[in-house]
Amino acid sequence: MIKAYLFDMDGTFLDTEKLWAKAMVELVRDYGVDSNETAMLSIVLGRSWRNVYAELLQLCPALDKWTMDEMALVVREYFHRLSRTESIVIEESAQLLCRLAKEKPVAVVSGSPHDDVVNGVKLIGADQDVKLLLGAEDYPRGKPFPDGYLRAAELLGIEPSACVVFEDSSVGVRSAKAAGMRCVALARVDGEKQDVSEADWVLTSLAQYSDRELMERIHG
């Protein structure tokens, strides 16, 4: 039986990862390092901010004047400037999250900083319905480790096997499965290609999701 739903954020209900990559490209270029969106996406996709920060320092050592928390604020300024001209809500995913949150507990488990998760949930109007928000600083190890999802299940008081995770990245799917949870992967036609074959069900839009069909796929 499904007792809770756990959503990744970036790439799952907000199309933010390309925008974060653009923001970081602009940041490192301002410090003399040439990069591009494709290369930066390989650092960003599905990764926790802790891991992204470490790789950015390797790419651009001049950024070490900021702590991880300080750099999150700097990158956020670039991101917000870009977001004024680009829509980032994945409507079908946001609609599913809001609907499910009225039926059973929903948590958002993201590798982004906690404040960004709070803002993301507010952006889709679900801040009064989502039971739990976890960002990168709220659990020890980022995806593909299961820590974030296991922490969410613990805080919700629900067995991992009764949770369904919605993800969009290969590391996110691996994290959910390592936590012993069911996983539905979003592989949008126009999205970044990820190997999500380990998921229990792969969809091109979360508008296609139903509990009944997921259970039929799992139990045959």
Q: Give me the tens of pLDDT residue by residue for the chain, a chain 220 residues long.
A: 999 999 999 999 998 888 889 999 999 999 999 999 999 998 988 788 889 999 999 999 999 999 999 999 999 999 889 988 888 999 999 999 999 999 999 999 999 889 989 999 999 999 999 999 999 999 999 999 999 999 999 999 999 999 999 999 999 999 999 999 999 999 999 877 889 999 999 999 999 999 999 999 988 6
Q: Which residues of 90-120 are buried (b: 16+ CB within 10 A; e: fewer)?
A: bebbbebbbebbeebbbbbbbbbbbebbbeb
Cβ atoms of 95 and 40 within 8 Å: the answer is no
Alpha-carbon distance 64 to 202, whole Å? 39
| CATH class entry, domain 4-15+89-219 | alpha beta
What dihedral do alpha carbons 63, 40, 52, 20 form, nearest 10°?
A: 90
Q: 12: closest CA among 150, 182, 191? A: 191
Q: How many CB atoms lie within 10 A of CB 50?
A: 15
Query: Which residues, at least 6 apart from 77, have a Cβ–Cβ distance to it below 8 Å?
Result: none
Provide the whole-model pTM.
0.82
Residue ranges of domains in the chain: 4-15+89-219, 17-83
Bridge partner list, 30: none
First-to-last C-alpha distance (Å) of the chain: 15
Cβ atoms of 191 and 214 within 8 Å: the answer is no
